[in-house]
Amino acid sequence: MKFMLIMRANDDAKTAYENMPFSEVIEKMGAYNESMINAGVLVAGDGLADDLSEAFVVDFAGETPIATDGPYGETHELFSGFWIIQVSSKEEAAEWASRAPLGAGSKLEVRRVTDMSDFEKFAETDALKAEAAWRAENGQE
Amino acid sequence: MADVKRTVDALWRIESARIVGTLARVTGDLGLAEDLAQEAVVDALAQWPESGIPQNPGAWLTAVAKRKAIDAWRRRDRLDDRYRALAHELDDSVAGADAWQPIGDDVLRLVFTACHPVLSREAQVALTLRVVGGLTTEEIARLFLVPVATVQQRITRAKKTLGAAKVPFEAPDPAEWRARLGSVLGVVYLVFTEGYAATSGDRWIRAELAEEALRLGRVLAALVPREPEVHGLVALMELQASRFGARVNASGEPILLADQDRTRWDHSQIARGIAVLARADGVGRGRGPYALQAAIAECHAIAPSVDGTDWARIVLLYEALGRIAPNPVVDLNRAVAVSMATGPASALAIVDRMVDDGSLRGSYLLPSVRGELLTRLGRRDEARSELATAAALAANTRERDVLLAKIAAL
């Protein structure tokens, strides 16, 4: 089974990172990634850019979706990166998550990634078939 | 208590290879190392519910196992250099939490020793899953649908055999490296293909076995990244596993590749498999049997349909595979690919040669393919006879039903 480890960081965490030597941050993250690679569990992972100048939010509240720069202000815990790991149990996912080199102000939200088996009973739905076809066409990178 | 057990099981998966590897290096005895590690796990299950899980559980388990090793030696009154050396190391580990340092090669030695040629394949599989994969004996038994006692016996015998054959806890010499690595890859792929052998009722077991094999493969790839066949094997497994969602229908009946709904293939996994195959190629030492098989799987994986498949390329790959790893099943698969690329007549010539050579005698595969080709050539009476022969030789009812259906469709 696959789990996604979702990093969320508030301003305390950002301040702490700014006060740490950059090489130390990179080294610790690198060691963590390497430990998961060496254990054969890392499937995917990426960080999201801290600089929000290229970020925007699409809001579906109204009839037409509206895009605004952001997320600013209201957001206390910014989604800043993720890993996807392949493990055999929730406990194993918890163990890996707890080893992440994160400090105060950071949280890891851990969620199971659904696969086709979760949708087995709905397999005939046109919408799901269409989604599957989209994934097929787009290689789902 | 149940939570602690699940946590310990999870920790064992993560830490077992390193712990057993380190202990095996220190004691020189894999069997003893595994016993000691198991005793430490028992202690953990007894103590952690009360004391809580330690900060560095891997180090805790290793230190406890080492202490037990020294106790065992003390009882045997072996006051020799090894005891003194162990006692010294133990003092270091008690002195500081991070004083215990495993050596990078420990896991590699562990892998090669668990897959040593003196052991039977079954023993290699059980021992590797136990000490490298960190599975419990119950998990191994469940995955292979054998009694727990059977797995325990296999592991016990394996340890005794290693002891009796005085197998050193070492990675192989350069002279033996290629053959020994091939053996390791064979063990991993056997775990993977056991998944294919499972019946429809066990499709989730099949998926779990595939995941275990993939994990072992990735661990190997990290240990020996300069070995292209290791990446080739991982690529092959990713690409084959990517089709699992489409291989079996709602009633649990198998669906042939040609008939599979390709939207049900795992396209993330296909992308991963393709990337790993590229990594194998990146080593720059060419493609071995696993990488070639992965390349064939890649041709299918990137094709939108049977007709849209690059069959000519598949033929080339099977030709190469047949030369470096001769195998009648490869020849037969090549014939099928030729029939798609060129037409049934050319393929029939290949199959007829195999019949004359007596290849695959007694198997339903050859008459099955020959019957299929004759059907496409419009030679219906001959096809019927050939498919009937195949049905009679079929290994199980599922295969026979498929063949009987083909006869009925004539």
For every residue of chain A, DSSP letters joined together read -EEEEEEEE-HHHHHHHHHS-HHHHHHHHHHHHHHHHHTT-EEEEEEPPS-GGG-EEEE-SSSS-EEEE-S-TT-SSEEEEEEEEE-SSHHHHHHHHHTS---TTEEEEEEEEP-GGGGGGGTT-HHHHHHHHHHHHHTT-
How many CB atoms neighbour CB B108 within 10 A? 19
Domain contains A73? yes
Domain count, chain A: 1
Domain contains A124? no
CA distance to partner chain A, nearest, from residue B369 (Å): 30
Domain contains A133? no
Q: How far apart are CA B122 and CA B114, in angstroms?
A: 11
List, in sequence order, the alpha helices (H) in B145-288: 148-164, 174-197, 203-223, 228-241, 244-247, 267-282
Identity of the residue in A41, A89, A96 whose CB atom sits nearest the CB atom of B6? A89
Please tell me the total number of residues recorded for chain A in this structure. Answer: 141
Domain contains A38? yes
| CA distances in angstroms from B303 to B257, B273, B297, listed in the order given | 12, 15, 10
Q: Please compute, for residue B378, the number of CA atoms within 13 A of its CA located in the half-sphere on the CB side.
A: 0
Q: What mean pLDDT is predicted for residues B273-280?
A: 98
Domain contains B261? no
* Cβ neighbours of residue B188 closer than 8 Å, sequence gap 6 or more: B128, B213, B216, B217, B220, B233
Domain contains B12? yes
Domain count, chain B: 1
* A92: nearest Cα among B223, B103, B16: B16
Interface A:B, Cβ pairs < 8 A: 79
Q: What mean pLDDT is predicted for residues B243-255?
A: 77
> Residues of chain A whose C-beta is under 8 A from some C-beta in B?
1, 37-41, 43-44, 86-89, 91-92, 94-96, 115-117, 120, 123, 129, 132-133, 135-136, 138-141
The CATH number that applies at residue A33 is: 3.30.70.1060
B7 touches chain A (CB under 8 A): yes
Q: How far apart are CA B404 and CA B410, in angstroms?
A: 10
* B219: nearest Cα among B245, B241, B239, B191: B191
Q: What does the block give as tokens for B268?
A: 């993330």
Domain contains A139? no
Q: How confident is the model at residue B56 (pLDDT cuts 50, 70, 90)?
A: confident
pLDDT in tens, chain A (141 residues): 999 999 998 888 877 777 888 888 889 999 999 999 999 999 999 988 888 889 999 999 999 999 998 887 666 788 889 999 999 999 999 999 999 999 888 999 999 998 766 655 444 444 555 556 666 665 553
Q: Whole domain around residue B35: which residue ranges?
A: 2-102
Domain contains B39? yes
The dihedrals phi and psi of B340, each to the nearest 5 degrees, come to: -80, -35
Domain contains B86? yes
- pTM, whole model, 2 decimals? 0.87
pLDDT digits (tens, 9 = 90+) for B350-399: 999 999 999 898 888 999 999 999 999 999 999 999 999 999 998 777 77
Q: Whole domain around residue A38: which residue ranges?
A: 2-59+67-114
- Planar angle of CA B88, B93, B99, nearest 5 degrees: 110
Query: Nearest-CA residue of chain A relative to B272?
Result: A43
Query: Is residue A107 classed exposed, middle or buried when 0-12, 13-18 and 19+ CB atoms within 10 A define those classes?
Result: middle
Domain contains A46? yes
